Amino acid sequence: MSEIETRYVKPYFSTIQLILNSNPDNGIPTEAPKIKTTITGWLNNQVVKTDEFSFLNEPVDTPSMTDVLELAKTLGIDVVESWNEAFNEIANEFDQTKDQAVGAQSNGPSITLRPDSFFAHLHPTDKKSIAIKVGIYSPLKEKNSNNEVVVVNPYHKYQNSINLVFEDGQSKRERDNMIAGLVGQNTDATNRITLINSLITLKQNNEPLPENTSIEFIDKTIPQLQGLVALAESDIVFRQSRISVLQSVIAGDISKLLGSENTTLQTKVLTSVAALCTAILITLKSYHPDYVNIDVAKIMSEFAVPDIS
């Protein structure tokens, strides 16, 4: 009988999702708090194994989200508090969420911004990003039996949320190129409309078309040419809507979170991510048959963020 060939793969955290806040009491559907991760197994720079794990707060047979977070605390990191502290700096990277000037309270009612979830996509051969879903909250106040205004829920969630994305250089270049391409197509379409309208005017006045007129237009009737104009105008509207969507992305540079300058924010984010990954591996080692023999310290000593340029 031939010998079974056994090999061992190098695990890598390709995705990490941390859902912190869930507030469904006012009817807004939300995902329950959880940790979810995709761990890919690499053999000679090729993915040969993919595992997905979810740690919930519901009663289950496997370790819960609380178990993982408490384990991270024994490693010296409060992951939730660390992310909340990081968000205080992250919010200032975007015009929509940055701190306001002294006296802003006179502008209108206050709201509270909380990081509801973080999702890091760090697969080495894909585009990298970290997305933060920001919940919008406000204290819910009611009058009690003594006609006193009391806070019954300090974090009453609104329908709206803000999605912040830190992306790598490749993602930004691709989006910029898409916008430039759509703008160029709209410019060409505008020039086409101008040309066709000039031909329509000539036909309406029974004047000859220029000698260099494209064969596409020569035999067209006025209604047919008008149809081409309408089609081009419709295409412009569609492309402009795509441009607006692409330009509306609230995106920052992922290097501000995962760069090598050792800023306070980078250190906080990397330390928090590393602690969470370590806690997940220790947890998996405690119960999952595929991970019982792993050396967590060795794996984490080789932990590194892939190219984000």
Compute the distance between CA of residue 258 and CA of residue 271 in angstroms, rounded to an integer: 10
**Phi, psi (degrees; rounded to nearest 5) at 13:** -80, 95
Burial (0-12, 13-18, 19+ Cβ within 10 Å), 156: middle
Compute the distance between CA of residue 34 and CA of residue 57 in angstroms, rounded to an integer: 7
Q: pLDDT tens digits, residue range 118-143?
A: 999 999 888 899 999 898 888 888 88
Q: pLDDT tens digits, residue range 54-65?
A: 999 876 778 999
Per the DSSP assignment, residues forming a β-bridge with 151 are: 141
Residue 134: closest CA among 111, 117, 110, 155: 117
pLDDT tens string, the chain, 309 residues long: the values are: 567 888 899 999 999 999 987 655 555 556 788 999 999 999 988 999 999 999 998 767 789 999 999 999 988 889 888 888 888 888 888 888 888 888 777 888 888 898 999 999 999 888 899 999 898 888 888 888 888 888 878 777 877 788 899 999 888 899 999 999 999 999 999 999 999 999 999 999 999 999 899 999 988 999 999 999 999 999 999 999 999 988 887 788 898 888 888 888 888 888 888 889 999 999 999 999 999 999 999 998 887 766 777
81: how many CB neighbours lie within 10 A of its CB?
11
Asked if residues 166 and 234 have their Cβ atoms less than 8 Å apart, the reply is no
Q: If residue 155 lies in a helix (H) or strand (E), which one and from where to where? A: strand 149-167
The sign one gets for the Cα dihedral 63, 35, 82, 137 is negative
Compute the distance between CA of residue 157 and CA of residue 135 in angstroms, rounded to an integer: 7
Domain ranges of the chain: 10-167+254-301, 173-247
